[in-house]
Amino acid sequence: MQPTDVLVVGSGGREHALVLALLNSPKVGAVHCLPGNAGTAEIATNHVLEDTSHQATVNLASELGAGLVVVGPEAPLCDGLADACASAGLPCFGPVAALARLEGSKLHAKLTMQEAGVPTAEYVLLDANSDIESALDAYASSPWVVKRDVLAGGKGVVVTTDRSEARAFIDTSIETDGCVLLEAFLPGEEASMLVVMDGQACVPLPPSQDHKRAFDGDEGPNTGGMGAYCPAPVVNDVVHERIVSRIIEPMHRYLAAQPVPYRGVLFIGLMIDEHGDPYVVEFNVRFGDPECQVTLPLVTSDVFDLLHGAATDGLDPAGVTVSDRFALTVVLASEGYPAAPIKGRPIEGMAEVMANGVYGDAWLSLAGVGRDGQAWLATGGRVLSSTAVANDVASARQRAYEQLERLSLQGGHHRSDIAHRALDR
């Protein structure tokens, strides 16, 4: 069979990880990225389009002869890129807009979970006519959790014990969006499950755990994610079985029965309570970043088959195998991230570390990195992540940190406690 060329849409560390995994497949020919980043430029062909319409993306894929489009981020999915690919007969990994609303609208996600009978936090929908003080009273026994009903790039949720902060976020959200969700606080430990699915089948990949706060000990502001490891032991066999039977199976039944089935990966953000009972905190309609960086390297079967299978309703769960090893990634962020990252500073040591190649013991996924001639510059908040795979989580952690120590970025910061929950158990 002729190798297939693939177009990967997006520009983050997740997309670099996707390109690395695809290039590991003998079934993949050339990999193209739109727009990609400095990491993908090393191993694939980056493209820039002035025309940002979906039609332009579809046209590019056609001109390149791509047999698969893999969409990394949520925004183009919520905006209908998969629908445009479907109209052109182009296999697309990523759901159509009607199903991407699971991430685009928290209210839609809640209503879907009610319909599918999936456990999640109780909530109340507030608008300009609501008695907001009574609602705050009703949820006053634990921190208030306020969620905007729009795609907010990770800034749509406030969890706080400060009543005036909760009230202010409710008021501004109602003003801009018309409504807002106030939901019950779920105590427990978080985990992420990435479930690849199509109209016929679904495949849960090994569970992982992100570290969303900026600083060690889960202190500081929320970020896009400062590091992750996989598999996460909080999802033991009993918990895993509950997640499959109570959440994954009902969601897949629901999504496979839609007029156009879900073809892509469903990211399930979970809270596992003290009894080992799982609740859904959020759905995303894409791979997590940095969860993707630690999950795909553990897939020992062909990743192209996995993605192309899901895009074409040909997913074969029996053909998907995963390693029994451990992966860990730690994110290097620019000074000031997440509030106001300082950009443009050189990263020293890149050439040597990049020369190590990939899928050995350790490698990098680049995100906010640019080139100026031979120099490598930090151009974003999350700059890159250092990933390692080993036989146990402590060794993976040691290797990922050793690799990171070979780089230097003025003011750069990273967490030093990735996987502390696994190692402290």
Can residue 264 be called a binding residue for ligand GLY (CB under 6 A)? no
Min dist. Cβ of residue 265 to ligand AMP (A): 16
Judged by CB under 6 A, the number of residues near ligand AMP is 13
Beta strand 213-215 with 189-197 is unpaired
State the alpha helices, DSSP H only, in 65-162. 74-78, 81-87, 97-104, 106-116, 132-138
Binding residue (CB under 6 A) for ligand GLY from 149, 183, 291, 302 = 291
Residue 401 CB: number of other CB atoms within 10 A? 17
Segment contacting ligand AMP by CB under 6 A, of 165-173, 178-186, 248-256, 411-419: 178-186
Distances (CA, A) of 206 to 267, 295, 327, 389, 425: 12, 7, 11, 14, 19
Complete edge-to-edge strand list for the sheet that includes strand 144-148: 123-127, 179-183, 144-148, 157-160
Min dist. Cβ of residue 145 to ligand AMP (A): 4
Is residue 229 within a helix (H) or strand (E), and if so which, with residue range? strand 227-230
Can residue 288 be called a binding residue for ligand GLY (CB under 6 A)? yes
Min dist. Cβ of residue 188 to ligand AMP (A): 8
Residue 183, contacted partner among ligand GLY, ligand AMP, none, CB below 5-8 A by kind = ligand AMP
Q: Compare residues 12 and 278 and give the one whose CB is closer to ligand GLY.
A: 12
Closest by Cα among 301, 246, 268 to 194: 268
Residue 54, contacted partner among ligand AMP, ligand GLY, none, CB below 5-8 A by kind = none
Three-class SS of 275-329: CCCEEEEEEECCCCCCHHHHHHHHECCCHHHHHHHHHCCCCCHHHCCECCCEEEE
Min dist. Cβ of residue 329 to ligand GLY (A): 11
Q: Compare residues 185 and 254 and give the one whose CB is closer to ligand AMP.
A: 185
Q: Compare residues 132 and 145 and give the one whose CB is closer to ligand GLY.
A: 145
**187: Cβ contacts below 8 Å, ≥ 6 apart:** 142, 271, 273, 274
Closest by Cα among 317, 326, 320, 281 to 300: 320
Can residue 149 be called a binding residue for ligand GLY (CB under 6 A)? no
Residue 288, contacted partner among ligand GLY, ligand AMP, none, CB below 5-8 A by kind = ligand GLY
User: In this structure, are residues 182 and 146 in contact, taking their beta carbons and an 8 Å threshold?
Assistant: yes
Can residue 215 be called a binding residue for ligand AMP (CB under 6 A)? no
Can residue 289 be called a binding residue for ligand GLY (CB under 6 A)? yes
Closest by Cα among 100, 59, 60 to 77: 100
Binding residue (CB under 6 A) for ligand AMP from 10, 95, 269, 368 = 269
Min dist. Cβ of residue 187 to ligand AMP (A): 7
Site for ligand AMP, rule CB under 6 A: 121, 145, 147, 157, 159, 183, 185-186, 190, 212, 269, 281-282
